Amino acid sequence: MIKKLLLIFVFICSLQGFTQEEYLGDGPHAQLIIRGVMLINGDGSPPRGPMDIVVENNRITKMQIVGYPGVKINEKRRPKLKEGGKELDANGMYLLPGFIDMHGHIGGAAQGASPEYVFKLWMAHGITTVRQPSGINALHLKRQSAENKIVAPRIFEYTGFGSGSEKAISTQKEARAWVRKNAKNGADGVKFFGAEPEIMAAAIAENKKLGLRSTAHHAQLSVARWNVLHSARAGMTSMEHWYGLPEALFEDRTVQNYPLDYNYQNEQHRFEEAGKLWAQAAKPYSKHWNKVLDELLRLDFTLDPTFNIYEASRDLQRARRAEWHELYTMPKLWEFYQPSKISHGSYWHFWGTEQEVQWKKNYQLWMTFVNEYKNRGGRVTVGTDSGFIYQLYGFAYPRELELLREAGFHPLEVIRAATLNGAEALGWDDQIGSVQIGKLADFVIVEENPLVNLKVLYGTGAIKLTKDNKVVRVGGVKYTIKDGIIYDAKRLLAEVKKMVDAEKAKTNWKLKQPGVKN
């Protein structure tokens, strides 16, 4: 019966494929008025509403409070719709600045994740801007997105250092030449993984001279001689994940306490030992810990922790059984996540209680640093790094917000990290990152209050009981607005499901848990 239904469904989908035109949202409109929202801004200010927001030619021109809670709105006082304008009834809904994902790889062949699949998952979760820190060459996609010819967030491309060059960069001269070429190609910055110290210094300095920004995943191979502090002092503007930070905090050692039979090529070794790393660093609030934190602050360095991408290390089952996998994870991506000695981030050789407990402690120390960095005025952003370690594009974003909340951020601080902080880190805070007159029209609209429960931002929504004891799902982003174009977020998710179902139908594929025969 289920098989029959599936066949009918696949048939309907394929029919729709012929009859439906590509969905590119609603707009742009000469004038757009969004009516009656509760504004949750990205600047740390408290929610206020009801408000009407007017957009003209993709710029916010008016933000008008139109009443008081529980009092009937005086319609005469509301901004007037011009001829040819568009009105969006969002009464009682919550409006936030478009979300910024500072660490988004635009899929890849190994994961079976096409740019279209990735973009739709992001847009369905309110992500209107993404920084790609290395990955597929996305300069053409960046252009198409800027022209709104495709459904995609605006893209900032931070090219992987050395990518595209025929041989490995081994001199300062080559490093500077690569950086100049990268800027000329139209990239927005550089992402480093680590290199010889003199190469790092030359490349970062040249990149800074050109006015571009930079970040790094400080890979374990280079951190003994070049950690986060070296990067920040050399002029790097941000860091990814956390590697290189405990190393800057070492007091009683200069290298991580590697077991003597360790092999970096063995990813269980790599991730298991990483889980013990924060415990080897200076204690929170100790003299050295404070000194490192304050120096990074003075250098205006941005932390992009990407907490979510390591979460399977502290709770593998949670990440593996996330409810969206059945509906929205591509078969090939699911296979990529499975235990493997080859696939990156699939280090489940024998991952158990001991490793998870270590990682839980690792998180506490890491989160303490990140939260205190924020408390002292440091910039922390939201990045996801999906496509690895059971983390799915789009869905990982609310999870990252929840983990910042767990680290100690007030929900309004979480939203600021997701919006204005990202914009500042990109050098685009005069254009995006908060709802402000003169800025571009990038918004997220949701029917539930995300400050009360961040889970309402998941595409699958949050579970709620009604007054008469019925189980319902609430939330999921309602509209994502980018460049003043309104996208029905649920429609985008449905399109993703259709793509996934079509892939599954090709081989009658079913999602199986690792090692289970059925």
Instruction: Please report, as ranges, the residues that interact with Zn ion according to CB under 5 A.
Output: 385
Q: How far is the CB of 385 from Zn ion (least distance, A)?
A: 4
The residue with its CB nearest to Zn ion is: 385
Pairing of strands 31-39, 485-488: unpaired
Nearer to Zn ion, 267 or 385 (CB): 385
DSSP secondary structure letter of residue 27: -
Cβ proximity to Zn ion: between 345 and 461 the closer is 345
Between the CA atoms of 73, 74, 80 and 85, what dihedral angle is there, to the nearest 10 degrees?
30
> How many whole angstroms separate alpha carbon 342 and alpha carbon 331?
18
* Of residues 308 and 480, the one with the C-beta less far from Zn ion: 308
C-alpha–C-alpha distance, residues 187 and 172, integer Å: 20
Q: How far is the CB of 345 from Zn ion (least distance, A)?
A: 10
Is 370 or 462 the residue whose CB approaches Zn ion more closely?
Answer: 370
Buried/exposed code over 163-181 (b: 16+ C-beta within 10 A; e: otherwise): eeeeeebeebebbbebbee
Nearer to Zn ion, 86 or 131 (CB): 131
Which whole-number Å values give the CA distances from 8 to 1, 214, 505, in the listed order? 11, 50, 12
Contact present, 178 and 212 (Cβ < 8 Å): no
Q: How far is the CB of 158 from Zn ion (least distance, A)?
A: 10
Tokens encoding 365: 């120390």
Q: Which residue has the tokens 């200010």?
A: 45
* Residue whose CB is less far from Zn ion, 206 or 385: 385
Angstrom distance (rounded) from CA 97 to CA 126: 9
* Nearest approach, Cβ of residue 478 and Zn ion (Å): 29
Sequential DSSP letters for 29-59:
-SEEEEEEEEE--SSSPPPEEEEEEEEETTE
In the complex with Zn ion, the residue whose CB is nearer, 116 or 385, is: 385
Rounded to a whole number of angstroms, the minimum distance from the CB of residue 131 to Zn ion is: 10
Indicate the residue among 158 and 369 with the shorter CB distance to Zn ion.
158
Question: Smallest distance, Å, CB 383 to Zn ion?
Answer: 8
Q: How far is the CB of 485 from Zn ion (least distance, A)?
A: 28
CB of 330 to Zn ion, least distance (A): 18
Rounded distance, CA 162 to CA 165, Å?
6
Sequential DSSP letters for 416-438: HHHTHHHHHHHT-TTTSSS--TT
Is the Cβ of residue 247 or residue 385 nearer to Zn ion in the bound state?
Answer: 385
Smallest gap from residue 63 Cβ to Zn ion (A): 36
Strand ranges across the sheet with 379-380: 238-240, 302-304, 379-380
- Based on CB atoms, which residue is closest to Zn ion, 201 or 274? 274
Distance CA 51, CA 90 (A): 10
User: Which residue matches tokens 């996801």?
Assistant: 384
Tell me if 152 sits within 8 A of 129, measured CB to CB. Answer: no
Count of residues in the chain: 518
Sign of the dihedral through C-alpha 412, 413, 418, 419 = positive
Cβ 137 to Zn ion, closest distance in Å?
A: 16
CB nearer Zn ion, residue 121 or residue 440: 121
Nearer residue to Zn ion within complex by CB, 101 or 247: 101
Q: Which of 52, 56, 62 is nearest to 32 (CA)?
A: 56
Q: Provide the minimum distance between the beta carbon of 273 and Zn ion in the complex, in angstroms, as a whole number.
A: 20
CA gap 102, 296 in Å, rounded: 19
Looking only at the bridges linking them, the beta strands covering 127-133 and 99-101 are: parallel
Nearest approach, Cβ of 83 to Zn ion (angstroms)? 47
Q: What angle do CA 247, 249, 250 make, to 5 degrees?
A: 70
